[in-house]
């Protein structure tokens, strides 16, 4: 299958220009999500070397056929069973002096191999050259994310029927959904699903258990779909029996709070400020000890990617058109229960679009 020539060439050209701008001779890319972004390839063992003049892609003999689809927008495709050795040979052959490597992905073993065998090369660690490009989604990426959300909406309808089964467990529900995603939608979970009842819902990243769902007041459902390389992410509460007075009030509080947060999102707002606003509001209401995570995170090729919507984030980032991220206020009462409401937002020129708005919430 031939991939979008112009799309990937443009992304690679932007990277090459950044190398020239920063006086770097090359960028060694080991992060598979970044390689997918630059090539459309989704394979297990692959590296990319970008220089201002040429681009190289490396893999082993298992993926020779797949890599042939990119041979017309990479200058050289290298199939080798000693990939790092081939990388070293290319770097030496073209005289690289300053080589950027991805600090958030490259293993110590691989870094040490490059350090030892490229002893005349200055290795520079960096994690942002590619992620700076990925943070703003193209029209095609937004379209792919919306397709993923459409599948997610279909799955949430199915969940509404499945949770009525009195014998359904968290574990069985996860397995049913996994099967349906693969069989009917040619997709998969973007992350292990969170299907949490009772005290399990007090854990923000709860593992599914074998407890039966039906006897509890509600089930917290946090799932994401990955379709053609792009993710979606959403959390909803499914009421099974009548919620307690306290649970109902917390849900109403979170729903109102999320609506207020969504209204503040527009180009120019400092992203860390969104988390600060949320923490300040919930803390003022007496729930500072019940906040267990930041207010959101970017979604795209990875389920968690930039921008990170956190007060503790060191990056000084503001909302820009094309950013896609979650807004997910939650409160958790250890050993008892927890609640979270999560939606995905696209920043637009005039404000924002809630991409998951058509997936119903409990209304009050």
Q: Domain coordinates of the chain in residue numbers?
A: 5-134, 139-354
Q: Which CATH architecture best describes the domain 139-354? A: Alpha-Beta Complex (3.90)
pLDDT of residue 137: 97
pLDDT of residue 364: 56
CATH fold of 5-134, please?
Creatine Amidinohydrolase; Chain A, domain 1 (3.40.350)
| pLDDT for the residue 312 | 80
d(CA 361, CA 140): 28
How does DSSP assign 125-178, residue by residue?
A: EES-TTHHHHTSPPHHHHHHHHHHHHHHHHHHHHHHHHTT-TT-BHHHHHHHHH
pLDDT at 4: 65
Q: What is the model's pLDDT at position 2?
A: 45
Burial of 99 (0-12, 13-18, 19+ CB in 10 A): buried
- Tell me which residue has tokens 């599914």: 208
Q: How many CB atoms lie within 10 A of CB 108?
A: 8
Q: What is the pLDDT of residue 187?
A: 95
Task: List 169's β-bridge partners, or say none.
Answer: 212
Q: Is the previous residue joined to 307 through a cis bond, with omega within 30 degrees of 0?
A: yes
How many Å apart are CA 179 and CA 154, to the nearest integer?
Answer: 14
Instruction: Please check whether residue 344 is in contact with residue 233, taking contact to mean a CB–CB distance below 8 angstroms.
Output: yes
Tens place of pLDDT per residue across the chain (364 aa): 445 678 899 999 999 999 999 999 999 999 999 999 999 999 989 999 999 999 999 999 999 888 888 877 899 999 999 999 999 999 999 999 999 999 888 999 999 999 999 999 999 999 889 999 999 999 999 999 999 999 999 999 999 999 999 999 999 999 999 999 999 999 999 999 999 999 999 999 999 999 999 889 999 999 999 999 999 999 999 999 999 999 999 999 999 999 999 999 999 999 999 999 999 999 999 999 999 999 999 999 999 999 999 988 766 689 999 999 999 999 999 999 999 999 999 999 999 999 999 999 986 5
Neighbouring C-beta atoms of residue 53, cutoff 10 Å: 12
Helical residues (DSSP H) of 163-313, grouped into ranges: 170-185, 245-264, 271-284
């Amino acid at each position: 299958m031939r991939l979008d020539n112009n799309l990937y060439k443009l992304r690679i050209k932007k990277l090459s220009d950044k190398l020239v701008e920063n006086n770097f001779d090359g960028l060694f890319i080991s992060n598979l999500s970044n390689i997918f972004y630059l090539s459309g390839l989704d394979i297990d063992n692959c590296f990319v070397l970008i220089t201002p003049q040429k681009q190289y892609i490396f893999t082993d003999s298992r993926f020779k056929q797949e890599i042939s689809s990119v041979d017309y927008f990479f200058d050289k495709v290298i199939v080798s069973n000693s990939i790092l050795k081939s990388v070293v040979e290319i770097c030496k052959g073209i005289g690289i002096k300053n080589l950027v490597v991805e600090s958030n992905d490259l293993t110590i073993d691989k870094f040490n191999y490059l350090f030892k065998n490229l002893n005349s090369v200055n290795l520079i660690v960096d994690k942002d050259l590619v992620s700076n490009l990925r943070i703003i989604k193209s029209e095609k990426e937004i379209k792919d994310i919306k397709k993923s959300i459409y599948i997610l909406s279909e799955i949430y309808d199915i969940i509404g029927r499945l949770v009525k089964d009195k014998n359904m467990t968290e574990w069985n529900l996860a397995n049913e959904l996994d099967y349906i995603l693969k069989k009917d939608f040619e997709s998969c979970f973007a992350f292990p699903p969170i299907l949490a009842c009772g005290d399990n819902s007090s854990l923000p990243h709860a593992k599914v258990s074998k407890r039966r769902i039906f006897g509890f007041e509600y089930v917290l459902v946090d799932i994401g779909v990955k379709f053609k390389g792009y993710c979606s992410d959403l959390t909803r509460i499914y009421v099974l029996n009548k919620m307690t007075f306290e649970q109902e009030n917390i849900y109403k509080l979170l729903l109102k709070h999320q609506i207020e947060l969504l209204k503040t999102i527009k180009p120019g707002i400092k992203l860390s400020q969104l988390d600060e606003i949320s923490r300040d509001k919930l803390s003022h209401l007496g729930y500072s000890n019940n906040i267990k995570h930041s207010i959101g995170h970017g979604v795209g090729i990875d389920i968690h990617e930039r921008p990170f919507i956190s007060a503790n984030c060191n990056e000084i980032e503001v909302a820009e058109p094309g950013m896609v991220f979650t807004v997910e206020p939650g409160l958790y009462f250890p050993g008892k229960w927890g609640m979270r409401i999560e939606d995905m937002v696209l920043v637009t020129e005039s404000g924002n679009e809630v991409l998951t708005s058509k997936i119903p919430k409990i209304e009050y």
